[in-house]
Every structure is written in C-alpha cells, then in structure tokens.
Amino acid sequence: MSVIDTLDLPEVCFSCTPPHWWSALAPEDWTPDARWGLSDRVLEPLELLHDRRWAHARAGDPAAAIALAIAYDRGDTQPALLNAMMSALVANALLGSAAARLVLIHGLSRRWRLDPARYERALHGWQELDRELGIAAAGTEASGEAAVSAISNASN
C-alpha cells in the first residue's frame, strides 16, 4: 500500500495533478490531506519566482498572493507560474481571506467562460461559499444592529 492510498483525497484529485487542483476542487473538497498536498507538492517546493512576494504568498499573506495574481494573471504567463499563483490564492482563501477568495473567483470565472467543464466545480463551489459567508456576515451585522437598537431603546 502506498502513502497515496492512505490519504483522504477527493476523487477529483486522482484525475489531475496537484498544481491543477486549484482549478478542479471546490472548497468542500479541500480535505486536510488535499491541503497538505497543495502545500507539500505545489507551494513549498516552488522557488520559481525571484519576487519577494512569493515567499509571503506561500506563507499565508493574502495581500502578497493577490498582488502576484494581479501581476501575473495574463495570457502570456507560463502555465506553471499561473498554477503557482492560483494555488497560492486557494491556500489563502482556505485560510479565510475574503479578498483572496474574490480574486480566485474572478480568475476562475474568466477561465470558465473558455472551458466550462474544467472550471465548473471549483468556480461554483467558491461562489457558493462566498454567498454563504456573505449571508452569514449580513446576519451578524443585522443582529449587531438589533443589539445596538435594543440598547439605545432601553436607555431612552
């Protein structure tokens, strides 16, 4: 039995290599083992950028990941570099960065228009998560406003 056999990876992980997982996995697919694979197989070994932001993006700095994605997400970017940038965005989005999630959704959406089958699962999964988190935030904001109103009314 190999190490891969003992890992808890979603089925889609076996149809593409780790550098391409950013384009195939929805947020709910990112098991702890898939996250480990992203880090161990994609982010940690790559020293392909001589840009100091790369180390920060790999270490969980969403601003660095976003800056790199904006700088390098264009048509003439080498596929390996693009996969690295998008993987760093995924890693930061999984850590809870709403900004990284937004930039990731934008990148997936642009690519989905050209190849819907390839990006469908990841795009819709991230969009749904973004909607759910937005609704939860709106609910928290509304309950906060209700609390402020109740305190204000009680003091009058």
pLDDT at 109: 96
Q: What is the dihedral of CA 113, 116, 122, 124, to 10 degrees?
A: 80
Q: Is the pTM of this model over 0.85?
A: no
How far is Cα of residue 21 from the mean position of the Cα atoms in its chain?
A: 10
Q: How many CB atoms lie within 10 A of CB 112?
A: 18
pLDDT bucket at 63, cuts 50 / 70 / 90 = very high
26 neighbors 7 (Cβ within 8 angstroms): no
CA distance 68 to 151: 45
Cβ atoms of 138 and 40 closer than 8 Å: no
Q: What is the pLDDT of residues 104-153, one digit of tens each?
A: 999 999 999 999 999 999 999 999 999 999 888 877 655 555 544 544 45
Q: Measuring CA to CA, how many Å separate 123 from each of 3, 69, 84, 116? A: 29, 17, 18, 9
In percent, the amount of the chain with pLDDT more than 70 equals 83
Q: What is the pLDDT of residue 34?
A: 92
pLDDT given for residue 3 in this prediction: 46
Both tokens assigned to 126: 């991230």
